[in-house]
Chain A
Amino acid sequence: MQSVKEIGLSSRSATNLSPFVIVVALFFMTCAAFVIGAFPLTLSIVTIFLFAGVHNFVEFRYFLARMPLRWGNSRTYYSIGIGGVFTLTIIYLSIYFASNNFLYGATNYMIFVGVWNTLFLLWLASLLWLRGRQKPRSDYSFAFPVALFVASFAWFLPQYFALSLVYLHPFVALYFFERQLRRTRPEYVKTFHVCLATLPVFLVILWLILGNSPNIATGDFLSWRITQHAGGEILPFVSNKLLVATHVFLETIHYTIWILLMPLIDKKAVPFRLKNIPLFVHKQGFPRIITAVLLLGIVAIVALWFGFAIDYATTRDVYFALAISHVLAEMPFLIKML
């Protein structure tokens, strides 16, 4: 005989709004937008210092829990996915760290970047196509013409393509969160959609307030690097204070989702609950390797904090170069959730 509580849980639907959650979310976004809008440069430094490494660790822990022990029918998918992550990361780092080499004139550099962008898009299209083959009555082969079309713009307007990736990446966390909500907390999906709908409102308010604000002074290397990362030189007609504030606001949402919200809605994502990791608990798993990798992750977080404290600008540059691997690693799991 089922208890009332069990019946209530089994019949939960995505139709009820939670006013408390909406109020808390709006309060948080309002505070974030206000503080970031007032001190964009400072908040950029603080948020990356505090949360960049931690969010990477939590993301990795989340993907670890979702990686099956036996790939089975998804063998090709995961091979291309993980292989692509490693290959593209190596190529990216080669371009990045060797850009002062005599081989890399300005023109050659743009060609290498264009090739990387094209490979990245074709890799995504391949994963989509493979995912479509796993699902009955699905055909995702349209991904290839779409990828080629987008790649053409990556060649026509390389700077704008790179900048679009910078601004689109924070939204990936929103997609992951939504898909996870549907699996573990479907009663909050509608509430999340309402909160999501307010995000453009906050962005518009930021733009209206900061649209005519004077540029941030970029006399030192760090300020220049932060504004350049946000697209200050690609969009010189836009206030770089607005660009930095927008970027930091979106990144703050991204960090909040990964560090705070994802472990709340998915127990498997709680970092130190190793029993939820199939690769760890299965008798044919790799418990020592998993433990070592997670400990290495913690060491990396601490090392990053030390690096930031000693030389923030250089550590920031190195971090964002290496962070491309986490951006790439999100893609196979994101597409697998389709």
Chain B
Amino acid sequence: MKKFILMTLLMLFVFAPSAFADIALPKPTPTPVSKQTAKKKGVESRMTVRVGEEGSDTTLYLPRSTYKQLRAEFDEADESDMAAIQTNSTNTIIGGSLMSLALIFGGVWFVRSGKFGGKTAAGLLIFALFGAGATVVFANMAPPSSRKISSDMFSSEVQRFGYASGKIRIVVDNSQEAGNVTLVVSKDKPVEPKVSATPNQ
């Protein structure tokens, strides 16, 4: 019994660090934004910018679900609704621990049931260890590179693709009843030109 408890705790400590994979990387120094913009919660979404047909109007298509979320914010939706939808880090840690315990107890039941051979059990154990290790690796992996919406899209090297897509934030600008829809793109750090290695003669 003591061995069982000890093994359970050991396995828990082995798998628990993967829960920390959910903790975000340290944020860089925030760029200055207007106070009004900073107070807005906004709605996270994705945006694609593509080149339309010649002579067509520039149009911002807003999905119904995004519009409903924006309308809810405009109508001062209850903050608890948004918090209820988003899982916080406490939920992730407890959920991860419960999943680890499920794997542990499932493994114990599996072995004690004796219905499956030792090779099968060993194979599953190795698979589980690889899977646990993979969560640590993938959890900190950077998002795949994509045609992000930034100042780069205005360079000739990008324009030939005809489109760009990435994460954006849609905000209801309460300071303006009407006016232009504004898309503010993030500015990347300029790439330093490579210096030629040819020595001066």
Interface of A with B (CB < 8 Å)?
A: 106-107, 109-111, 114, 118, 139, 141-142, 144-149, 151-159, 233-234, 236-237
Contacts and interface: CB of A to CB of B under 8 A. Distances in A.
Interface in B140-177: none
Q: Which 10 A-B pairs have the closest CB atoms?
A: A155-B95, A106-B83, A145-B106, A148-B102, A149-B102, A152-B99, A152-B98, A106-B80, A145-B105, A156-B95
Among B68, B81, B101, B105, chain A packs the most CB atoms within 10 A around the CB of B105
A151 B98 CA distance: 7
Interface in B58-105: 65, 68-69, 79-81, 83-85, 87-88, 90-92, 94-99, 101-105
Contact of B109 (A109, A118, A141, A234): A141
A146 B102 contact: yes
A236 B80 contact: no
A236 B65 contact: yes
Given A106-B80, A114-B94, A156-B87, A139 B99 contact: no
B113 A139 contact: yes
A106 B94 contact: no
A162 B94 CA distance: 17
Nearest to B92: A156
A148 B84 contact: no
A157 B95 CA distance: 9
B84 A157 contact: no
B91 A106 contact: no
For chain A, what secondary structure do more than half of its interface residues adopt (helix, strand, loop), or is it mixed? helix
Nearest to A234: B85
Nearest to A153: B95
Contacts of B98: 118, 148-149, 151-152, 155
Nearest to B101: A148
9 contacts: A107-B88, A142-B113, A145-B105, A148-B99, A148-B101, A149-B102, A153-B95, A155-B92, A155-B95
Contacts of A145: 101-106, 109
B99 A149 contact: yes
B65 A237 contact: yes
A115 to B, nearest CB: 9
A155 B80 CA distance: 17
A111 B90 contact: yes
B16 to A, nearest CB: 13
A114 B91 contact: yes
Contact of B84 (A109, A151, A154, A155): A109
A110 B86 CA distance: 10
A211 to B, nearest CB: 14
Contacts of A118: 98
Contacts of A139: 113
Nearest to B91: A155
Given A139-B113, A234-B85, A237-B65, A152 B95 contact: yes
A148 B88 CA distance: 19
Nearest to B67: A236
Contacts of B92: 155-156
A7 B98 CA distance: 55
Contact of A155 (B79, B94, B109): B94
Contacts of B83: 106-107, 110
Contact of B68 (A154, A159, A236): A236
A139 B113 CA distance: 9
Contacts of B68: 236
Contacts of B90: 107, 111
Among B97, B102, B104, chain A packs the most CB atoms within 10 A around the CB of B102
B85 A159 contact: yes
A237 B65 CA distance: 6
A148 B84 CA distance: 22
A188 B101 CA distance: 43
Contacts of A236: 65, 68-69
Nearest to A113: B84
